[in-house]
Structure 1
Amino acid sequence: MSSVRPLITSQIAVLAPGFRALSICVEAAPLINPDFAQKALADACQAVMNDDPAWAQAHLGAWAEVFRGFGAKPQRTPCSAEALRKRVLRGGGLPPIDPIVDLYNAISLEYAIPVGGENLAAYVGTPRLVIADGDELFDAVKDGQIVNESPEPGEVIWRDDMGVTCRRWNWRQGVRTRLSSDATRMWFILESLPQMPLDALQEAGGRLVEGLGVMMPGTLIEQELIGPDAG
């Protein structure tokens, strides 16, 4: 199986000291047990309504500070984990979207961690986390139509050789690399700050890997820890 190691610019360590992530590459098998994801999502929503991990609010608060550090306003454009949790707390749950998306959203909710899922086959070159110049292209949906926009200069973005794949670090995903269950090559990135214990990050990755194996028996999976804790 072909794996990918995302590139992270050295400026990220200045903006978010101690940032670490789990990168998980998947060669997908046929989706056999999609119902697993719906139950996982429902359970995760209930967990958000009932209780949080002891470190959850500190972790989300740290993400808000990082967003402020590159000029984003977390009240309006929060990190993806905060945005999901606000929707659950407001409405009591989330509607299903796609089994694979539902699964990684469930992990994000339960562990208060931004989780990205990407169609790796749609990438041109290596995923990389960088500071935007402001002239990169990002494909977004507006009024039901796909339009091109650009990030703000100084904004943290995920990108490849073609353009931006996710704006404001993990706030809004682009259309081109959006993941669904019919993808044959998948890439997940679980992004954490030091307020989340390392063992919780590894547990979250393990739960994602386990769920993928249940839903798609025979799937090939590789994972790698990225950041200061990596061996």
Structure 2
Amino acid sequence: MRFRHHPALRADFPALAAVTLFVDGVTADAGVDPAPWLDTARRRLATGAEGGLPEIQAWRRAFTAMGLRPTQYRCASESLLRRLRREGDLPSLHPLVDLCNAVSAAYAIPVAALDLDRITGDLEVRRATGTEPYATFAGDVEHPDPGEVVFADEAGRAHARRWTNRQSGHSAISARTRRAFIVAEALHDTATIDVTALRETLTAALHTTWPTATVTTAGP
């Protein structure tokens, strides 16, 4: 599978930096300790709310540019940090999801993890036509608004809505997942440096959690 951002989207958001990881050999019974990354996130939150972080501010500006209210539709990392600040912890869902969420919170950068076997062909971040089916976690099927930024595969299915706001239930990581695709995206001034550091952190953690797994990385 190849992953890319549509050239028109890159033209609209020239500061965009992204890294990807492909993991083969994921299991749901692995032990993972997200505490070190959550502690990093808590230390950052101790100096002020998540909305003041430069990584989050950049996404808020992007959401505003896309015609979305940034306090109604939050990027994934802002939602995680907001929950961590309010509740003191994040729920445990699956070792891969727990790991990605913790690293995302530590860096304040959205990280999406998708079941690679649930994606048809290549995956592109682009503006929607409005015809793409999108499966919610509740099992309902929605269609994005025309012009909304989505993750779309070659079958025309949307695997995320509003860019980094909401992933699809169709390709969510589950107990059956063995191969996963992970992408981290950032828009702030030091985005390239920070997503590269995030990639190295996550790669090391993946090797520790699944020693026999194959991890392939790319970008920026």
Is the shorter-chain TM-score for this pair beyond 0.5, marking a shared fold? yes
Match of 2:24 in 1: 27
SS in 2 for 1:146: coil
The code of the aligned residue for 1:115 comes to V
User: Following superposition of structure 1 onto structure 2, how do residues 48-127 of structure 1 map, counting pairs within 5 Å?
Assistant: 48-51=44-47, 57-127=53-123
SS in 1 for 2:208: helix
Give, in whole Å, the separation in 2 of the partners of 1:43 and 1:28. 28
Moved more, 180-189 or 159-168: 180-189
Match of 1:140 in 2: 136
Give, in whole Å, the separation in 2 of the partners of 1:108 and 1:192. 11
The structure-2 alpha-carbon separation of the partners of 1:32 and 1:153, relative to structure 1 and needing over 3 Å to count, comes to: closer
Q: What's the offset of the Cα at 1:113?
A: 0.2
Q: What's the offset of the Cα at 1:47?
A: 3.2
Indicate conservation of the 8 Å contact 1:165/1:174, yes or no: yes
The structure-2 alpha-carbon separation of the partners of 1:197 and 1:135, relative to structure 1 and needing over 3 Å to count, comes to: closer
CA RMSD in angstroms, aligned pairs only? 2.0
**Alignment of 1:212 onto 2:209:** no
SS in 1 for 2:33: helix
1:9-34 deviation line (CA, Å, top 9, x unaligned) = 11112321121100111111556741
Give, in whole Å, the separation in 1 of the partners of 2:97 and 2:36. 11
Give, in whole Å, the separation in 2 of the partners of 1:181 and 1:202. 29
2:185 paired residue among 183, 191, 202: 191
Where structure 1 has 5 or more consecutive residues not aligned to the other structure, the ranges are: 227-231
SS in 2 for 1:110: helix
Match of 1:221 in 2: 215
1:150-200 deviation line (CA, Å, top 9, x unaligned) = 111111100112310000001111111101354211110010114234332
Give, in whole Å, the separation in 2 of the partners of 1:187 and 1:33. 18
Q: What's the offset of the Cα at 1:101?
A: 0.3
Tell me the TM-score normalised to structure 2 length: 0.90
Tell me the TM-score normalised to structure 1 length: 0.86
SS in 2 for 1:106: helix
User: Following superposition of structure 1 onto structure 2, how do residues 150-161 of structure 1 map, counting pairs within 5 Å?
Assistant: 150-161=143-154
The code of the aligned residue for 1:47 comes to R
Match of 1:17 in 2: 14
Q: What's the offset of the Cα at 1:7?
A: 2.3
Give, in whole Å, the separation in 2 of the partners of 1:198 and 1:20. 5
Identity of aligned residues (%): 25
The structure-2 alpha-carbon separation of the partners of 1:99 and 1:183, relative to structure 1 and needing over 3 Å to count, comes to: same
